[in-house]
Amino acid sequence: MFEKLEHLPDDPILGMMAKFRRDTSDRKVDLAAGVYQDENGKTVVLRAVREAEQRVHDAQKTKTYEGLAGNVSFNRAMQRLIFGESHPVINDRRVATVQTTGGSGGLHIVADVLRRAEKEPVVWLSGPTWPNHRPLIRGGDLSFEVYPYYDVERRGIDFDGMLGALDQAAAGDVVLLHGCCHNPTGADLSQGQWDQLVGVLERRGLIPFIDMAYQGFARGVDEDAYGARLCAARLPEMIVVTSGSKNFGVYRDRVGTATLVAPDADTTAACASHLANVTRTVYSMPPAHGAAVIDTILRDDKLHAEWLDELGTMRDRINSLRSRFSAAMAERTGNDRFDFVADQTGMFSILGLSREQVDRLREESHIYMVASSRANIAGVRQSNLDYLADAIAAVLKP
Ligand SMILES: Cc1ncc(COP(=O)(O)O)c(C=O)c1O
């Protein structure tokens, strides 16, 4: 039986990470992996997380199963992180949340509920989007459409193209949006663009499906939730998926949430029952540790403040690297081609290099990024910035 299985090629991003690990050069630079790195190239455990882990460990009395929805206290805390302390959708009991195995688990769980709710659900993805969106959501009778989002040539959002495409969508279609720190482009909608977009979603009866994998990495926890909070205030239905991987740095603990907002409390209760029922058929119950840690942080004033401080440090470092990278490239190229990197947010930007230039950077200079020239700016350091800028400038020369 198994001899019929063909060996699959590596996942493009994970494959690049494996190549990086095998590279023995001490000049190698990792701009491929989607994890935050500090100035020493380390992805460290946050202080707030360490302290919360100690408290969880000390207080733990059992390892029996959580319920199907996971840690209910954590789910409530996450609702407040997404929507703010006293958003009407929370007060009106219009929010159903389950704990999931990372943002990836959340995307998959939501897709299964969509299939139950709608006969042939159509999901609109941004062009481009995170490559794992399609495989995580795919299945059954669900189909995809793509709305234009980022124009690599112009290095900016094609907002007219986006609204034009969504104006053709049918009522009830689902629109997957990046809440902030768009992956892979780093180009986020402004508040004014969110305002306009919500008008189109409202007029066409479309349902926003917001992937908030990076809340707090762009401008701040509340600022980054602008689009999600606006949709919740204006629309009868929406979907939000979050991840604790990046903003709490608990990548391997696999914790996130899937949230449905429904028009009234009864429909919300039905949504909650389906979210729970779907998890039963996928992994039964989520792992407890990461959610207990995040819940401990969000419910303790001191730990909460410490976490916000550490999140701010990560965000400020990325934003300052963005400016320094743009300046270093302007110095070498004598033009403003890379200025857009300073204006974008989150870890990623598409540098606009050809496949051949990306390959040359890896082969000649041990600089790793994915084939689309998506670079993780958090992989840049003061100590490798000049080396990196020189190498990129060299491959750009005709
Ligand atoms: C846009 C986006 N969504 C979701 C995820 C999933 O994150 P995780 O499953 O690690 O929590 C990621 C991770 O890279 C991402 O970039």
Q: What is the CATH number of domain 65-299?
A: 3.40.640.10
- Do residues 237 and 202 lie in contact, with contact meaning Cβ atoms separated by under 8 Å? no
- Average pLDDT on 160-175 reads 97
pLDDT in tens, 249-281: 999 999 999 999 999 999 999 999 999 999 999
- Do residues 173 and 207 lie in contact, with contact meaning Cβ atoms separated by under 8 Å? yes
- Do residues 348 and 184 lie in contact, with contact meaning Cβ atoms separated by under 8 Å? yes
For residue 49, CA distances in Å to 62, 77, 166, 278 come to: 21, 16, 40, 29
Q: By alpha-carbon position, which residue is closest to atom 12 of ligand 1?
A: 213
Q: Checking DSSP bridges between strand 143-148 and strand 122-127, what pairing results, if any?
A: parallel
Active site residue 130: yes
Backbone angles phi, psi at 287, to 5 degrees: -70, 150
| Distance, first Cα to last Cα, the chain | 52
Residue 26: pLDDT over 80 = yes
Residue 46 Cα, ligand 1 centroid: separation in angstroms?
19
- Do residues 150 and 185 lie in contact, with contact meaning Cβ atoms separated by under 8 Å? yes
| Domain 2-45+308-396 class, CATH top level | alpha beta
Q: Which of 130, 242, 372, 376 to mutate to test the pocket of ligand 1 (most atoms within 8 A of CB)?
A: 130
pLDDT of residue 140: 64
pLDDT of residue 229: 98
- What residue segments make up the domains of the chain, in order of their start? 2-45+308-396, 65-299
Q: Classify residue 24 by burial, with Cβ atoms within 10 Å: 0-12, 13-18, 19+.
A: exposed
- Which string of b and e fits 239-258 if b means at least 16 CB within 10 Å? bbbbbbbbbbbbbebbbbbb
pLDDT in tens, 310-345: 999 999 999 999 999 999 999 999 999 999 999 999
Question: Which amino acid would we find at residue 150?
Answer: Y
Residue 3: pLDDT over 70 = yes
- Do residues 199 and 227 lie in contact, with contact meaning Cβ atoms separated by under 8 Å? no
What single string gives the DSSP state of each residue in 334-348?
SSSTTHHHHH--SSE
Q: By alpha-carbon position, which residue is closest to atom 15 of ligand 1?
A: 213
Active site residue 309: no
pLDDT in tens, 217-254: 999 999 999 999 999 999 999 999 999 999 999 999 99
Task: Given the residues 30, 173, 211, 224, select the one marked as catalytic.
Answer: 211
CB 247 near ligand 1, within 6 Å: no
pLDDT in tens, 40-97: 999 999 999 999 999 999 999 999 999 999 999 999 999 999 999 989 999 999 999 9
CB 34 near ligand 1, within 6 Å: yes
CB 101 near ligand 1, within 6 Å: no
Closest atom, ligand 1, to C-alpha of 133: 3
Predicted structure pTM score = 0.95
- Do residues 389 and 325 lie in contact, with contact meaning Cβ atoms separated by under 8 Å? yes
Active site residue 307: no
- Do residues 28 and 365 lie in contact, with contact meaning Cβ atoms separated by under 8 Å? no
Instruction: Categorize the per-residue pLDDT at 14 as very low, low, confident or very high, splitting at 50, 70 and 90.
Output: confident
Task: Given the residues 130, 194, 224, 295, select the one marked as catalytic.
Answer: 130
pLDDT in tens, 96-148: 999 999 999 999 999 999 999 887 889 999 999 999 999 999 876 789 999 99
CB 348 near ligand 1, within 6 Å: no
pLDDT of residue 141: 72
